[in-house]
């Protein structure tokens, strides 16, 4: 694994796009202009080719912070106090320049505080320190009530942030489900339009179907649902097993009760195919490191998958020469 990966500063990028031609893995060719760190191998070719210096190579892991000597820490504290004073002076002056100086000094003061060994308010260390103040006897006049309110405020902020993260994850998965369904729906519409001789509509539906696939894949990726191949195979086994053991049997019973023969056939074919899929995923998991190439054959009618071309499908009976090889 490379010790560095490439990052692009969008503000510096002049769209010369030389990085697209020199990148051996396609990591620089993304819709949002952010280099794909999962594809980047850290070769540095894009950074060398970029005429505007918009691409830099950064470490995958940064070294631990070095301890400060007392003299260095004291010097940092002096600088921090100076920056805080300058921030306060700028805060009392009118104009955009003064506001910019105020903000600049505030940022530098924070960095100096951190480097000097002080803890930022939002850190876990700070909250531990505040809790320790409540647990021990303090000097007269010390307000434990104020400390308690600070801790309460920090906890509320963390809870709000966690709720926001959970909501965003829920939104990503809801969007993934919606885009996935839209992809299949528009593909079905495309086939119908093509059958009806409406070629332009068919092409539009097909293009939109592919677009929804792009959206769904990106939502799924951002949601953090793509893991190692072994973990992905385990997830696939669990999903297919749930479908053929728990989901489809109930659907089959309800279709039988309703007398809906078309739905009954659709559910039955899918249920039997999902059982095959689960076994194939489990087999692939157990033989994940096998180097010999395996071919798979898909039944275009019921979705059954075989590892060799059969005479006919074991589920729906379609002729083996109709199977699609992968």
Task: List pLDDT tens digits, range 162-209.
Answer: 777 788 888 999 999 999 999 999 999 999 999 999 999 999 999 999
* pLDDT tens track for 6-18: 999 888 888 888 8
pLDDT of residue 314 exceeding 60, the answer is yes
Q: Closest Cα to residue 7, out of 47, 67, 52? A: 47
Determine the pLDDT at residue 147.
Answer: 84
pTM for the model: 0.53
* Structure confidence by residue, pLDDT tens digits, 29-88: 877 788 988 889 899 999 999 999 999 999 888 777 677 788 888 888 889 889 989 999
CA 184 vs. chain centroid, Å, equals 23
The phi, psi pair for 63, rounded to 5°, reads -65, 155
Q: Which of the four pLDDT bands, split at 50, 70 and 90, describes residue 308? A: very high
Sheet holding 305-306, edge to edge: 305-306, 297-298, 324-325
Identify the bridge partners of residue 59 per DSSP, sorted by sequence position.
Answer: 4
Helical H segments across the chain, by residue range? 18-22, 45-49, 70-91, 96-115, 124-135, 144-195, 199-222, 229-242, 248-258, 261-286
Helix (H, G, I), strand (E, B) or coil at 283: helix
Domain 4-59 belongs to what topology?
Answer: Alpha-Beta Plaits (3.30.70)
258-306: pLDDT as tens digits: 999 999 999 999 999 999 999 999 999 999 999 899 999 999 999 999 9
HSE-CB at 244 with a 13 A cutoff on CA atoms is 18
* pLDDT recorded at residue 73: 82
**Sequence-separated contacts (24+) of 37-46 with Cβ below 8 Å:** 37/5, 40/2, 40/5, 40/6, 41/2, 42/2, 42/3, 42/4, 42/5, 42/6, 43/2, 44/4, 44/6, 46/6, 46/18, 46/19, 46/22
List pLDDT tens digits, range 98-148: 999 999 999 898 888 777 766 666 666 677 777 888 888 877 888 888 888
Q: What is the pLDDT of residues 280-292, one digit of tens each?
A: 999 999 999 998 9
In this predicted structure, what is the pLDDT of residue 63?
Answer: 72
Cβ 178 vs Cβ 220: under 8 Å: no
Q: Residue 119: its pLDDT value, please?
A: 61
Beta pairing, strands 55-59 & 4-8: antiparallel
CB < 8 Å & 24+ apart, contacts of 240-245:
240/274, 240/275, 240/277, 240/278, 240/281, 241/278, 243/270, 243/271, 243/274, 244/271, 244/272, 244/274, 244/275, 244/278
Q: What is the CA radius of gyration of the chain?
A: 30
CA distances to 37, 84, 295 from 58, rounded to whole Å, are: 11, 31, 41
What is the rounded CA–CA span in Å between residue 265 and residue 255?
A: 9
Q: Are 31 and 42 in contact (CB under 8 A)?
A: no
Conformation bin of residue 229: beta by default, left when phi > 0, alpha when psi is -120 to 50: alpha
Distance CA 160, CA 168 (A): 12
The beta-carbon contacts of 70-74 under 8 Å, at least 24 apart in sequence, are: 73/116, 73/117
Domain ranges for the chain = 4-59, 68-118
């Amino acid at each position: 694994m490379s010790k560095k990966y490439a990052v692009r500063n969008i503000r510096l990028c002049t769209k010369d796009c030389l990085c697209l031609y020199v990148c051996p893995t396609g990591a620089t060719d993304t819709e949002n202009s952010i280099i794909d760190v999962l594809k980047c191998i850290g070769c540095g070719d894009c950074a060398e080719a970029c005429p505007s210096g918009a691409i830099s190579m950064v470490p995958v892991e940064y070294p631990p912070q070095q301890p400060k000597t007392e003299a260095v820490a004291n010097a940092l504290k002096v600088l921090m106090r100076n920056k805080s004073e300058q921030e306060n002076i700028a805060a009392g002056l009118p104009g955009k320049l003064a506001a910019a100086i105020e903000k600049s000094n505030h940022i530098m003061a924070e960095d100096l505080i951190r480097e000097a060994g002080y803890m930022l308010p939002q850190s876990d260390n700070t909250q531990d320190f505040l809790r320790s103040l409540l647990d021990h006897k303090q000097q007269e006049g010390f307000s434990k009530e104020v400390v308690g309110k600070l801790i309460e405020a920090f906890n509320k902020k963390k809870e709000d942030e966690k709720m926001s993260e959970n909501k965003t994850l829920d939104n990503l998965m809801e969007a993934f489900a919606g885009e996935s369904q839209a992809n299949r729906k528009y593909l079905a519409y495309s086939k119908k339009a093509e059958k009806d001789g409406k070629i332009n509509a068919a092409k539009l539906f097909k293009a939109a179907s592919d677009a929804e696939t792009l959206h769904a894949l990106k939502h799924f990726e951002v949601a953090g649902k793509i893991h190692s191949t072994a973990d992905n195979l385990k997830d696939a086994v669990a999903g297919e097993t749930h479908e053929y053991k728990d989901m489809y049997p109930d659907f089959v019973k309800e279709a039988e009760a309703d007398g809906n023969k078309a739905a009954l056939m659709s559910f039955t074919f899918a249920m039997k195919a999902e059982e095959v899929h689960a076994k194939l995923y489990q087999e692939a998991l157990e033989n994940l490191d096998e180097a010999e190439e395996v071919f798979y054959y898909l039944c275009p009618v019921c979705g059954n998958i075989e590892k060799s071309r059969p005479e006919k499908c074991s589920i729906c009976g379609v002729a083996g020469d109709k199977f699609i090889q992968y």
